Amino acid sequence: MFEIVAKESLAPVLTKFVIRSPFIARKRKAGHFVILRVDDHGERIPLTIVDSDAESGTITLIVQTIGKTTKLLSLKEKGDTLLDVAGPLGNPTPIENLGTVVCIGGGVGTAEIFPIVKALKEAGNRVVTIIGARNKDLVILEREISEVSDTLIIATEDGSRGLKGLVTDALSDYIQSNGHIGAVYAVGPIPMMRAVSNFTKPFDLKTFVSLNPLMMDGTGMCGACRVTVGGETKFACVDGPEFEGHMVDFDELIARNRAYADLEKQSLERFERELAEGGLIHG
Ligand SMILES: Cc1cc2nc3c(=O)[nH]c(=O)nc-3n(C[C@H](O)[C@H](O)[C@H](O)COP(=O)(O)OP(=O)(O)OC[C@H]3O[C@@H](n4cnc5c(N)ncnc54)[C@H](O)[C@@H]3O)c2cc1C
Ligand code: FES
C-alpha cells in the first residue's frame, strides 16, 4: 500500500499528491511515469512522476480529474492509501546540453514538463519555458518552473494572464526575436503537441513530444499504447513516452484515444450517480 502524505488543490480539477514510494523516489528520472491503481476494483492509469524526494522517499504526482479513475483518486485524502504504484516506467527523457532549449507545457502538461525543465537546466542548458492555459486560474507551478527556467512565458487563451493566445503564438514570437534553439520539448493535449510539431517542422527544429495513448500494463505486453512513429509501430510505454514530434501519426493517436469515449463517459456517469446516492463507487 502506498500512503498519500500530502494533497493540495492547485487549480480547478488539478490536484497534487505526494505519495510514499521510496524505491521509485530513488530510481526515477525526468520523463518516467508510474501506473497506479486506487483500489482492487480500479483501472490502471499512467501518471508522470513530476518530482521526487529520495530522502523522504516520496514522489509527486499532479492529476487532472477527467474521468472515473482520476475522479476516484481526487476523492482520496492525506493518510489514505493507494493499492499499487508501479514504476518508474518508460524511458527517461533524452537530456543533453544543447545550448538554448524551449520547453512547452499545456494544461496538466505543465506538470509533466516540469521535471524535464529541471533536468535540462541541471544539464547546463539555457531553458525557455512556455506555459499555456485556457485562463489565469489554470496556470500551475509558475513559481517552481520560474525557479528552474531562464525565461518563463505564460500564454492564456483569454488573455487573463501573460500573452493572449496559444503556446504556438508564444513560440513564434520567441523564434522570430531570438537566435538558435537546440530543441523543443512539448507536453500537453494532443492537438497542442501536433500544432507545435507542425510549427517547428519547417524550421527543422528537433521537437520531442510526450505521447499519452491509452495504457494498461505499461510493460509492452498488452499493445494498448500502440502508436505509429516514422511509419513504424511503437509502444509508448516501453519505446517512449517521448518521440520525435515530426514523425508521429497524431491522427491515429487521436482516433485510438477516442475508441472507448462512450464507455468512459458511461463509467464516469455511473460512478457519479453512485457517489451521489452514497452507494457502491466501483464499476
Ligand atoms: C505516460 C503518460 C503520462 C501521463 N501523465 C499524466 C499526468 O501526470 N497527469 C494527468 O492528469 N494525466 C496524465 N496522463 C493521462 C492520464 O493517464 C489519463 O487522464 C487517465 O488515465 C484518465 O483516466 P480516467 O479513468 O480518469 O478517465 P477515462 O474515463 O478513462 O478517460 C477520460 C479521457 O482520458 C483519456 N485516457 C483514458 N485512459 C487513459 C490512459 N490510460 N492513458 C492516457 N489517456 C487516457 C481518454 O482518451 C479520455 O479522453 C498520462 C498518460 C500517459 C500515457
Ligand atoms: S501499455 Fe501495454 S504495451 Fe504499452
* CATH code, domain carrying 62: 2.40.30.10
| 271 domain-assigned | no
Lookup: cell for 142: 509558475
Tally of domains in the chain: 2
Indicate the pLDDT class of residue 283, thresholds 50, 70 and 90. Answer: very low
- Beta strand ranges found along 12-110 (DSSP E): 14-20, 33-37, 45-48, 51-53, 58-64, 81-82, 84-89, 100-106
268 lines ligand 1 (CB under 6 A): yes
| 276 domain-assigned | no
**For residue range 86-130, what is the model confidence (pLDDT) as tens digits?**
999 999 999 999 999 999 999 999 999 999 999 999 999 999 999
Answer with the one of 34, 56, 89 that is the final residue of a domain: 89
Do 171 and 227 fall within a single domain?
A: yes
| 274 domain-assigned | no
Per the structure, the complete domain to which residue 119 belongs is given by: 100-258
Distance from residue 225's CA to the centre of ligand 2 (Å): 5
DSSP 3-state of 190: helix
Give the pLDDT confidence score for residue 279 in this predicted structure.
Answer: 61
Cis ω for the linkage preceding 92 (within 30 of 0): no
| 279 domain-assigned | no
Instruction: Give the integer Cα–Cα distance in Å for 269 and 275.
Output: 10
pLDDT reading at 134 higher than 80: yes
Distance from residue 114's CA to the centre of ligand 1 (Å): 18
